[in-house]
Structure 1
Amino acid sequence: MGRGALKSLQIGMHWFPERAGGLDRMYYSLVRALPGAGVAVRGMVAGSPRVAHDTDGAIHGFGPAAQALPLRLMAARRAVAKAIRVERPDVISSHFALYTWPGLDVTRDIAQVSHFQGPWADESGVEGAATLGQRAKHWVERSVYARSTRFIVLSAAFGRILTSRYGVSPERVRVVPGCVDVARFDIDTPGWSARQRLQLPQNRPIVLTVRRLVRRMGLEDLIDAMALLKKRRGSDAMLLIAGKGRLADELQRRIVEKGLENDVKLLGFVPDERLPELYRAATISVVPTVALEGFGLITAESLAAGTPVLVTPVGGLPEAVEGLSRDLVLPTTGAEALADGIASALAGGLRMPGAQACRDFARANFDNAVIARRVAEVYREAVAEGSV
């Protein structure tokens, strides 16, 4: 770690190998990269004792995610208090407001940085949560953000949400995109070989999306777009949807109703170690989100694998890819725009960057080491302000 390393306490949501969510993936990547940027890491998440075993004691699971909420909150507070007693950190890094909130009294005199990865309360509303639950979540978020010296957002779009919805001063907000281990996705496997190993057709364009199967991801639009492509253009493209979620049965019914059983496949959960090969097998990736997308980790992962990715103009998605090619950003959301964009990309009507350009862009902008250095700079800002 070296002398002079900044000591951080990283409060996350879940441990990625145990729970597969975008926030958890980025937490997992970041805490492993921060030591290389001069930030010593200790942390806590809702998780099993295996977390401490796998991280040599750096990260602790304070209890199972399935535990009743009051018990989880009490366990989170005990974990924060214990961590501070054992070794006082220079900075508290909050990745999830709910588990930071119970310990606000014991972290009062320590610089705090909040990683704002989305409006938790608003996301719940999009997915149909009760209004009372939304208000409670919003109050928890505001309580935690009131204690934060600096904020890290995944995009300027989410920075605007943070300042408008939570009253945070823009001067305290820093934009740092999500991170991926580019080397892990940049595998030495040709596309045809990846398809062979995954038992995918060699003679059809393959469109891929990796998403949680929930409402705001726009997966219904993407399935409808495939129906339009087949009906209007006679396309033989195949869509692969990787991920799990509450909409699985509904999406499968939609596929059957539109006669797309041979054209759209729900893959379910794909283990992390198989994702690089799946991206490499695809002709293009698509992120069809309709609401509240701060970054879209699939964008960085797909580019790191050398596969171009089309995105809807929602939230921070355009910011993630327009530096590579403006043609990667669709003009609007919905099935029509998705169908037109996919058709043009596959026919050569859009300027799709080549595999090496995709990989180079991901390495320069999203690699773990690059992002860890930028995050470390924000932590040092927060600590410096607190010591004045």
Structure 2
Amino acid sequence: MQATTLRAVPAATPIRSIRSLQIGMHWFPERAGGLDRMYYSLVGALPGAGVAVRGVVAGSARVAADTDGAIEGFGSAAQSLPLRLMAARRALRRQVEAQRPDVISSHFALYTFPGLDVTRGIPQVSHFQGPWADESHVEGADSLGQRAKRYLEQTVYARSSRLIVLSSAFGKILTTRYGIPQDRIRVVPGCVNVDQFDLPMSQNEARLKLQLPLGRPIVLAVRRLVRRMGLEDLIDAVKLLKRSEPDVLLLIAGKGRLEGELQTRIDEAGLGENVKLLGFVPDQHLAALYRAATISVVPTVALEGFGLITVESLASGTPVLVTPVGGLPEAVAGLSQDLVLPTTGADAIADGLARALNGSLKLPDEQACKAYARANFDNSVIAGRVAEVYEEAIALG
């Protein structure tokens, strides 16, 4: 079949009755991560789009209890890899034998791979949320491990008649790095529960709740503390920004292997009063933290398919500046092209933040941010688009 351009899937609400088996990574309430959050949001919204959900993830027995048996936790993610793969295969076999699904929905290739023979003959859709092998390489994984991950991903994607990507940028990675024909790829962005982040409180009320200063400009970055997130550039940018905005306060929420290194960078730059590492922020406080910020920033330097945090911030009414990496520009450009920085690096981030804080960069207001997030990324909107892709795969058989 001749390749076509990547096609975005429009929202639609036909009457459906689809049985899906959703293969995830972790269960979000047990493990925090962007992939896990999107899986959690999507499986909660799909029934409203006519898609019945059963699923398997690496997780405890509480997963089944919390979901009335819909999602099965096949064991702790702390188990050795061979044990996890065998447990994933057994769980997939149980699910298929209990009720044969109309479509397999793979969100994580590692746990899909061991059950490919079990699910043979069932239409499969892969949700591509990033090049796992390449991400591991950026974070320092050895070349043998990277090759093994690439083989595993390639095998799972080859089985899929449709692949969902979060952005056109990641669609190009699927075609160039994995050889997937464009006509099998559909662009559907990530989803959030907009109501969860649309709090009925002002910025100052949110700051009072979190005991944050009322009079200072607050910049927020919610990121895993790993290399490709560009947090080193962001800290260096605050050192530059401090010259014109001496009271600026950067809050970095998240945890990861770079925590010690980043704290050293903060201390050596004399930014102890201007940059704070918050560590992991519980979900019940995250919306208030976004609302409390003057502006959010996503300083990624590599491999960003969508940036769920961009939509979370907008849903909270807080504008967000992003670097021109991967799918980040696609996530915000429909609201304002001015939210996309011209390049990566400390200088560009510092300049963008300075213009945002001094008013020379026109930012969308609270209501515009919220309306954009609700219209384009709310769970119900995205669930309908995903369901359309499932229908395509089922029709192909």
| Shared fold (TM-score, shorter chain, > 0.5) | yes
* Residue of structure 1 equivalent to 2:7: none
Tell me the distance in 1 between the aligned counterparts of 2:63 and 2:254: 23
Tell me the distance in 2 between the aligned counterparts of 1:16 and 1:34: 16
1:264 aligned onto 2:275: yes
Normalised to the residue count of structure 2, the TM-score between the two structures is 0.96
The counterpart of 2:157, out of the listed 145, 157, 167, is 145
Aligned-pair CA distance for 1:277 = 0.3
Tell me the distance in 1 between the aligned counterparts of 2:289 and 2:249: 13
The counterpart of 1:108, out of the listed 111, 120, 128, is 120
Q: CA RMSD in A?
A: 1.0
* Stretch deviating more after TM superposition (196-205 or 132-141): 196-205
Normalised to the residue count of structure 1, the TM-score between the two structures is 0.98
Aligned-pair CA distance for 1:235 = 3.2
Tell me the distance in 1 between the aligned counterparts of 2:194 and 2:87: 35
Q: Structure 2 counterpart of 1:304, which letter?
A: A
The counterpart of 1:312, out of the listed 307, 313, 323, is 323
Tell me the distance in 1 between the aligned counterparts of 2:274 and 2:304: 27
1:327 aligned onto 2:338: yes
Secondary structure (helix, strand or coil) at the match of 1:27 reads helix
Aligned-pair CA distance for 1:199 = 1.0
* Residue of structure 2 equivalent to 1:57: 69
The counterpart of 1:227, out of the listed 233, 236, 239, is 239
The counterpart of 1:252, out of the listed 252, 263, 269, is 263
Tell me the distance in 2 between the aligned counterparts of 1:353 and 1:235: 24
The counterpart of 1:194, out of the listed 206, 209, 231, is 206
Change (3 A) 1:372 1:4: closer
Once superposed, which parts of structure 1, at least 4 consecutive aligned residues long, lie more than 3 Å away?
none
Tell me the distance in 2 between the aligned counterparts of 1:365 and 1:202: 31
Contact between 2:245 and 2:354, CA under 8 Å: does it hold in 1? no
Aligned-pair CA distance for 1:58 = 0.3
* Residue of structure 2 equivalent to 1:16: 28
Contact between 1:325 and 1:351, CA under 8 Å: does it hold in 2? no
The counterpart of 1:167, out of the listed 167, 175, 179, is 179
Tell me the distance in 1 between the aligned counterparts of 2:325 and 2:371: 24
1:79 aligned onto 2:91: yes
Gaps (5+ residues) in structure 1?
none
The counterpart of 2:195, out of the listed 152, 162, 183, is 183
Aligned-pair CA distance for 1:78 = 0.6
Aligned-pair CA distance for 1:10 = 0.1
Cα deviations by residue, 1:244-286 (Å, 9 ceiling, x for unpaired): 0000010001000000000000000000110110000000000
Aligned-pair CA distance for 1:106 = 1.2
Cα deviations by residue, 1:322-377 (Å, 9 ceiling, x for unpaired): 00000000000000000000000111111200000000000001000000000000
Tell me the distance in 1 between the aligned counterparts of 2:168 and 2:267: 39
The counterpart of 1:69, out of the listed 78, 81, 85, is 81
Equivalent pairs counted in the alignment come to 384
Tell me the distance in 2 between the aligned counterparts of 1:334 and 1:199: 31
Q: Structure 2 counterpart of 1:222, which letter?
A: L
Cα deviations by residue, 1:143-194 (Å, 9 ceiling, x for unpaired): 1011001000000000000111001000000000000000110000111011
Tell me the distance in 2 between the aligned counterparts of 1:174 and 1:349: 38
- Percent of residue pairs identical: 74
Secondary structure (helix, strand or coil) at the match of 1:113 reads strand
* Residue of structure 1 equivalent to 2:355: 344
Contact between 2:165 and 2:187, CA under 8 Å: does it hold in 1? yes
Secondary structure (helix, strand or coil) at the match of 1:240 reads strand
1:29 aligned onto 2:41: yes
